[in-house]
Structure 1
Amino acid sequence: MIKIFRTNYPFYYDVKKAAIISVLVFILSTGFSYAFEPFEVNYKELKYSYLITSVIHSIVSLIVFMFSVILLTLFRDKKRDWQVYNEFSFLVIVLILIGIGQFLIRDLIYLKEDNWSFRYLFEEIRNTLLVGSLLMFIITSINIERLKSIYRNRSKLLNLDLNKDVNSNETISIKTKVKIDDFNLTMNDFIYAKSDKNYVEIFTVGGKMIKRMSIKSLEDQLEMFDYIFRSHRSFLINLNKIQKVKGNTQGYKLSLISCEDEILVSRGMIAKFEEELRKLKK
């Protein structure tokens, strides 16, 4: 279970995508409430028809969700990967806020004098969590398996294109922040580089070097080589050293020659990675 919750998960919550999701949530929640009536309804207490009441509840859900997404995009740490537990935690908070929102509009839709009791606050939050959590778990689980299937199938096609016979004996002089630490890099030996704060770990066939420089500086100095690719904000890789491409929910993980670590391809770089790999193997 811990492994599942630590699985990387696509971050969907930019405002444009959130607007689309909000419309879907509005349609699904209205349809679900109206079709199944998951909780007992006393029609005599309603100011409007049950359909209109369901629509009002769904509008509240839409507004709360959009407001939560805007706050999330403003304050989320973009340097950290979004994982399944982040997804669940965010959605649980959203459901609690929706429950509070449903409580605050009770006077608008119910003909009752005690709408502001703590009992109704608890009921609104509880009911929202019960229904929302069920839908959240089902949708998220299906989406995880859908994404795995998509990227596994695409990774199989990419693996067919891998060619390990491409070599380059060219050596290039690399400049660091400390002149005496400058070094020569033989491109055929270079496997990948990993950012580590103010340093870069450079992995080669002969071992590992740690240099005081940014990974962006290294990338710029190697830009003339079309097989050098920035797969992730923390990784710069030699496409010729890819041994296997694996698909996961976020996209791809790469196994490189003479390398125990699996290298990530960030979601935003997937299309570019596929394009560069296919271009290189033509």
Structure 2
Amino acid sequence: MKGILLLIVSLFLFAIIYKPIQVHPAQSSGLPLTILLYTLATALPIIGILLVIKKFRCFPGADKWQLSHELVLLLTILVAIGISVYFAGFFIEEPKMRWNLSTFFDSMLRSLLVAFIPLFLPTVTNIRYALTPETFFQYPVSKQDEMPAEDMAQEISIISKAKREELHFQIHELIYAESQGNYVTFYFEDNRKPNRVVIRNTISDVAAQLAPYTSLMRVHRAFIVNLKQVRSKTGNRLGYRLKLNSCSSEIPVSRNNTAQFDVRMQTMRRSVHQ
């Protein structure tokens, strides 16, 4: 919602400064108020489109960003803004002589002139990340006998509020945890039995319980990984894919978490070599 509010404010300020061709105030209000009313009229379709996309997951997540998806979303929002501006004109200005194609296309053109630059700026940033070449980095393997004694003895307890379940394990045993709706699956080293445990809880609640442990990080909305189990990473600032010990699957790191992941891995590696 904050992003939508920022977009609406940006559209208003840009329209005030830019003043597209032949934009004029309505008869009952000045130019700033006219532009404000038109800007507010665009809020509902933008909110509606984004809510539909979020609910039905029309596009992949940020870690799988694609230019084609971004351009389709941009075009959809621009068309929705143009249509809303056209119909808002019936209430903001004199409604006579507006029900025609020339007025409709004029509304679409002016909406494009005002909204294109503010909407396209985030896409430019994403393109810069997408064009960054992928890199591969391999981390030194952490052998069990090289781990600090406190890691070997540190026990973690995860409490499930729903069924009063408790899960106990040593911190070095955990490889990663994955969200599956209202359940979280914990994957452990092969020498721990059982090495796969499911408890009824949300990933957010589990992440909050694991927050004191710096070697455990929520790298994605659905994944928490043990950083000491990471073997390698592939990708760029748009997102990473991790290979973990005793794990055949690749774990995604979302774009918003890549910087923090790098910092925490560097910090952990420095502490090991001190």
TM-score w.r.t. the length of structure 2 is: 0.61
The aligned residue for residue 3 of structure 2 is 13
In structure 2, what is the equivalent of residue 165 of structure 1?
Answer: 142
Cα deviation for residue 217 of structure 1 reads: 4.0
Report the counterpart of residue 195 of structure 1 in structure 2. Answer: 179
CA distance in 1, matches of 2:228, 2:94: 66
How far apart are 1:189 and its partner, in Å?
3.6
Query: Which residue of the other structure, out of 105, 108, 131, is the alignment partner of 1:123?
Result: 105
Match of 1:255 in 2: 242
> Any idea what SS the aligned residue of 1:202 has?
strand
> Deviation at 1:93?
1.4
- Change in Cα spacing, 1:254 to 1:64, as seen in structure 2 (3 Å) is farther
Instruction: Write the letter of the residue equivalent to 2:106.
Output: E
Aligned-residue offset at 1:193: 1.1
8 Å CA contact 2:217–2:226 kept in 1: the answer is yes
Which residue type is aligned with residue 202 of structure 2? S
- Residue type matched to 1:172 in 2? E
Q: Give the Cα–Cα distance (whole angstroms) in 1 for the partners of residues 23 and 113 of structure 2.
A: 18
TM alignment of 1:1-282, pairs within 5 A: 13-16=3-6, 18-24=8-14, 26-27=16-17, 30=19, 33-34=20-21, 50=22, 63-66=37-40, 68-69=42-43, 72=47, 76=51, 84=70, 85-102=72-89, 107=94, 115-128=97-110, 142-149=124-131, 152=132, 159=137, 162-165=139-142, 167=147, 168-170=151-153, 172-177=155-160, 178=163, 182-206=166-190, 208-242=196-230, 243-247=232-236, 251-257=238-244, 258-265=247-254, 267=256, 269=257, 272-282=260-270
SS at match of 1:115: coil
Contact 1:199–1:210 (8 Å) recurs in 2? yes
| Contact 2:79–2:108, Cα closer than 8 Å, also in 1 | no
Q: Would you say the 8 A contact 2:175–2:189 is kept in 1?
A: yes
Q: Is the 8 A contact 2:4 2:47 kept in 1?
A: no
Q: Kindly indicate whether the alpha-carbon contact (under 8 Å) linking 2:178 and 2:203 is maintained by their aligned counterparts in 1.
A: yes
Which runs of 5 or more residues in structure 1 are unaligned?
Answer: 1-10, 35-49, 109-113
Residues 224/21 of structure 1: CA separation in 2 closer, same or farther (3 Å cut)? same
Do the aligned partners of residues 117 and 262 (structure 1) sit closer, same or farther apart at CA in structure 2, a change above 3 Å counting? same
Residues 51, 203 of structure 1: alpha-carbon distance in 2 compared, 3 angstrom cutoff? same
SS of residue matched to 1:165: coil
Q: Tell me the residue number matched to 1:38.
A: none
Q: 1:22 to 1:164 in 2, by over 3 A?
A: farther
The one-character-per-residue Cα deviations of 1:216-261 (angstroms, maximum 9, x if unpaired) are 443344334211112233322222233215236xx42331312423
Normalising by structure 1, we get a TM-score of 0.60
Query: CA RMSD for the aligned pairs?
Result: 4.4
CA separation of 1:17/1:129 partners in 2, compared to 1, >3 Å: closer, same or farther? closer
Q: Distance in 2 between matches of 1:230 and 1:188?
A: 16
Q: Secondary structure at the match of 1:195?
A: strand
* Contact 1:13–1:69, Cα closer than 8 Å, also in 2: no
Contact kept in structure 2, 1:95 and 1:132, CA below 8 Å: no
Unaligned runs of 5+ in 2: 63-68
The secondary structure found in structure 2 opposite 1:281 is: helix
Mark the CA change 1:240 to 1:94 in structure 2 (over 3 Å): closer, same or farther: farther
For the 8 Å contact 1:191–1:204, the answer to whether it is kept is yes
**Once the 2 structures are TM-superposed, how far is the Cα of residue 210 of structure 1 from its aligned partner?**
1.8
**Greater per-residue strand proportion:** 2
Q: Report the number of matched residues.
A: 237
